[in-house]
Structure 1
Amino acid sequence: MRVPASSDSNSGGKNLVVYDEPTSVLGLRRSPTPTTVEEKPLVSAASGGDNQFPSDDHAMRSMDWDSIMRELELDDDSTPNLKPNFPPPAHFAVVDPPLPGFPDQLNPAEYGYDNNNEGGGGFDIIEDLIRVVDCVDSDELQHAQVILSRLNQRLRSPAGRPLLRAAFYFKEALGSLLSGSNRNQNRLTSWTEIVERIRAIKEFSGISPIPLFSHFTANQAILDSLHQSSSPFAHIVDFEIGFGGQYASLMREIAEKSSATGGFLRVTAVVPEESAVETRLVKENLVQFAADLKIRFQIDFVLMRTFKMLSFKAIRFVEGERTVVLISPVIFRRLNGISGFVNDLRRVSPNVVVFVDSEGWNGISGAGSFQREFVSGFEFYTMVLESLDAAAPNGDLVKKIIEGFVLRPKIAAAVEAAAVNKRQGGGEMTWREAFCAAGMRMVPLSQFVDFQAECLVEKAQVRGFHVAKRQGELVLCWHGRPLVATSAWRF
């Protein structure tokens, strides 16, 4: 139900250090300067009822959030400001016909592996991994355990080339799936784990264009939509807020564009139950940052289990606000379906829907077998690891942190999602088919989004990355294969 618009704001945050993400690629810093503010009654962070996290309250009270942020060393401003001198891109590569889908079978020789690589281990290990997947596909779970035990003896650590490291992480994900220990395995329960996860995200953003490509393209698509309206009230429904660092640049843009009126941003984040601890950190950081910018800001959290029951009725919509829905494949994975979600989304009729695919979905149908989805994910994350090797030197500790705290949880979630889809029988439309069937049409991204994307890739200075356009999407590619694709849609 929609209620009259209100500009009231309530409570503020304590003294926390905020990760000051750059406004755009043009102001990108590797080690930004933090900001601290005193408590100000400018913003509201509301969350109530079923959306509270009482079971984790003791954990949150025991955490020293100032120490967590100081541990990240975000006040290091020794790196000089990087100012690009890139001319506006004359053109973008157009990927036409659409980039090919992933094969049902993986050929290790394409990655430089054959029977002679790594003492024969490269080819044999991938063969055994696919045998485990085949056993899971055919419900021969005992046989799968036997092969997996053999793999555990041969693949003891994530070392070597990207293909073998990917094999290790996917082997671990299969092991967790077969043992039933995959539930809540990505839950962060201590401040040390939170520090390491944030550090990994920060380091990943510093050496690879993948994270910032997702943030900048999504933020600019949101801003383009907001600028088309005279309403100063903006409401973003975010289904993958993470630690919320991407909102720093968005809020700064809103503050600069709305200097006369002050601007008003409301965020509703739909979060899984295991994100209880992180939501406290997200709320306090964004509240503080908004207070520093002197914009009115509210944030609400809706538990995923509540959204599953009530859909968009669990979210408060206000008349007069310009509504943006920000989604990724994660929401389809958590809801175990696409069509129902899109039909409910149509009833809300947001001003724009921004879809960011950073998991290699690429329009693959959910009707495929477990093997097909597994191999698709395996090839995708092998490419991500290849790009990481190109960006970081061999043996770099930063690379290990990124793999352990960013990529490994994503791989585990992808394998679990493929298993869930298998149990449900597949048969779903692709997200693009579901969007079109619901009457959605793609909205062209602005030239400034294109320019930012090109600048970001140039600034990364990692050979192999390039920007392309594909069926209306802006795509970050690694040697011709898509890694991130951003698109905007409207009913």
Structure 2
Amino acid sequence: MPKLPFSDPGHHELFLRKQQQQQQQQHHLQQQQHHQGIQQNTLVGKKEDPGGGQQHELLDQLYKAAEMVGTGNFTHAQGILARLNQHQQLSPIGKPLYRAAFYFKEALQLSLGHNNVNNNLTPFDVIFKMGAYKVFSEVSPLIQFINFTCNQAILESLEDADRIHIVDFDIGFGAQWASFMQELPRNRGITPSLKITAFASPSTHHPIELGLMQENLTQFANEIGISFELDVINFDSLDQQSCFSLPIFRASENEAIAVNFPVWAASGQPSALPSLLRLIKQLNPKIVVSLDRGSDRSDLSFPQHVLHALQSYINLFESLDAANVTSDALNKIERFLLQPKIESTVLGRLRGPDKMMPNWKTVFASSGFSPVPFSNFTETQAECVLKRAQVRGFHVEKRHAFLVLYWQGRELISASAWRC
């Protein structure tokens, strides 16, 4: 079995544990101080209730609620959602289909504007979120597949660069870049410098979370002898008029740029995707790595989009169930990591113009981006990640220029690399 870059679990786990410990200390101090092309039968897994009648009715009601929301008929939508609130099995505890449907029902409820919940995380929420991420990365190969595949593609594209600039639209906890830094000295005879410009929204990243990430990444870089800099830019304030005055457009000529841009980075406002791609193209990056959960379908009508996204999350929830994690850990993974993404997937479509858009791959191509196949080593590395997973049922396939992670034959996520 070939050696896995970034595979030292000690650094990754230590990085996350250190963030958790620091956050807990800070919190303690604060305390002291089938509808139109969507086949519903594919939404009901074989492991669910064999009758399926109640489940089909549930899916039909969700579709109708999404249809009413999409057309602005909020009164009827509220009536349907009120009935769904009485559904005994619709809860964050239970079978994957019911858990996923519960979160989508909640997202549709938010779209009505009656439940304007403050989505800003509290310091205590950050502790749970970081713990959930740590458990998720341990029990599922999904995060390691994402990080290893994208990191390897970036490394191969920048192998002759000693000044690297990563523009990241989905930095999360930054653990991906700790692994990336760990690999850099072994790839070159000289010590490189790494700068990261991260676009993050205050609604998804608590200031304390960002501060801890910056502190820990800087400390880790110092320990392994890498010059490091991290700039965080408010993604919500990004617009076409001001974006070209950002520091990333004043990069030095000998700086090699790579971009991490998952498709869901634009799910909060899908209509902004072409503008974001124009921004990325102006950076003249060596490579753009992207990820697709299959749930962000701007080429579908809103109710179809909701059911399609629901299917994607049912698949993911089923794969988590197979890992046999505790119900408490599972609930925290879904509440702090997955529910916000579901809300963004649903609400984002409603913020944009009332029309469908081309599939994201079409938008990438029309914006001047061409797919770059992953190397054989990257594919082999992805397969090795799955062999080390605790759960069987995952497999990787190369589909054109994409690497796709499947669970029981159903797509979970695809990775791709692009050049412009």
Question: 1:24 is matched with which residue?
Answer: 5
Q: Distance in 2 between matches of 1:382 and 1:288?
A: 39
Q: Which residue of 1 aligns with 2:235?
A: 304
Alignment correspondent of 1:321: 255
Choose 425-434 or 175-184, whichever is displaced more: 175-184
**Aligned-residue offset at 1:332:** 2.1
2:69 aligned with 1:136: yes
User: Within the alignment, does 1:287 sit opposite 2:218 as a pair?
Assistant: yes
For residues 23 and 269 of structure 1, what CA distance do their matches in structure 2 show?
A: 26
Identity of aligned residues (%): 34
C-alpha contact 2:40 2:56 (8 A) present in aligned 1: no
Larger Cα-atom Rg: 1
Measure how far apart 1:109 and its partner are. 7.2
Give the drift of 1:247.
Answer: 0.9
Contact 1:23/1:252, CA 8 A, preserved across alignment? no
Deviations 1:380-420 (A, max 9, x none): 00000011111125x53222221121111111111112322
- Residues 284, 436 of structure 1: CA spacing in aligned structure 2 closer, same or farther, 3 A cutoff? same
Query: Is the CA contact 1:269–1:300 (under 8 Å) kept in the aligned structure 2?
Result: yes
Instruction: Give the aligned partner of residue 252 of structure 1.
Output: 182
Residue in structure 2 matched with residue 152 of structure 1 by the alignment: 85
Q: Which amino acid aligns with 1:322?
A: A
Matches within 5 A, 1:33-72: 33=14, 65=22, 67-68=24-25
Separation in structure 2 between the aligned mates of residue 170 and residue 152 of structure 1, nearest angstrom: 12
What amino acid is the match of 1:111? G
1:468 aligns to 2:397 (yes or no): yes
Cα separation, partners in 2 of 1:36 and 1:123, compared to 1, 3 Å: closer
Distance 1:184 1:233, change over 3 A: farther
Task: Find 1:338's aligned residue among 257, 273, 291.
Answer: 273
Normalising by structure 2, we get a TM-score of 0.87
| Structure 1: 5+ residue stretches without partners | 1-21, 38-62, 72-101
Change (3 A) 1:460 1:299: same
Show the counterpart of 1:47. Answer: none
Offset at residue 66 of structure 1 (A): 5.9
**Equivalent residues of 1:214, 1:358 under 8 A apart:** no
Which amino acid is 2:95 matched to?
Answer: R
Contact 1:269/1:302, CA 8 A, preserved across alignment? yes
For residues 17 and 96 of structure 2, the distance between their equivalents in structure 1, rounded to whole angstroms, comes to: 40
Output the CA distance in 1 between the equivalents of 2:268 and 2:338.
18
Match of 2:289 among 343, 354, 359: 354
Task: State the alpha-carbon separation in 1 of the partners of residues 177 and 8 from structure 2.
Answer: 15
- Provide closer, same or farther for how the CA distance between residues 171 and 433 of structure 1 changes in structure 2, counting only shifts above 3 A: same
Distance 1:181 1:313, change over 3 A: farther
Query: Is the Cα–Cα contact under 8 Å of residues 367 and 425 in structure 1 kept in the other structure?
Result: no
Match of 1:194 in 2: 126
Aligned to 1:5: none
1:234 lines up with 2:164 in the alignment: yes
Matched-pair contact (CA < 8 Å) for 1:236–1:324: yes
- Of 367, 381, 387, the match for 1:452: 381
1:380 maps onto 2:312 in alignment: yes
CA spacing shift, 1:319–1:433, aligned 2, 3 Å: same
Amino acid at match of 1:131: K
Residue 30 of structure 1: how far off its partner (Å):
10
Q: Which whole-Å CA distance do the structure 2 matches of 1:270 and 1:413 have between them?
A: 16
TM-score normalized with structure 1 length: 0.75
Equivalent position to 2:146, from 214, 230, 253: 214
CA RMSD of aligned residues (A): 2.9
Letter in 1 for 2:99: R
AA matched with 1:65 = Q
Taking structure 1 as reference, are residues 196 and 114 closer, same or farther at Cα in structure 2, changes over 3 Å only? closer
Aligned to 2:173: 243
Gaps of 5+ in 2: 29-35
Which residue pairs with 1:431 in the alignment? 360
Residue 343 of structure 2, aligned match among 406, 409, 412: 412
Counterpart code for 2:292: D
**Equivalent-residue separation in structure 2 for 1:244 and 1:137 (angstroms):** 36
SS in 1 for 2:175: coil
- Letter matched to residue 320 of structure 1: N
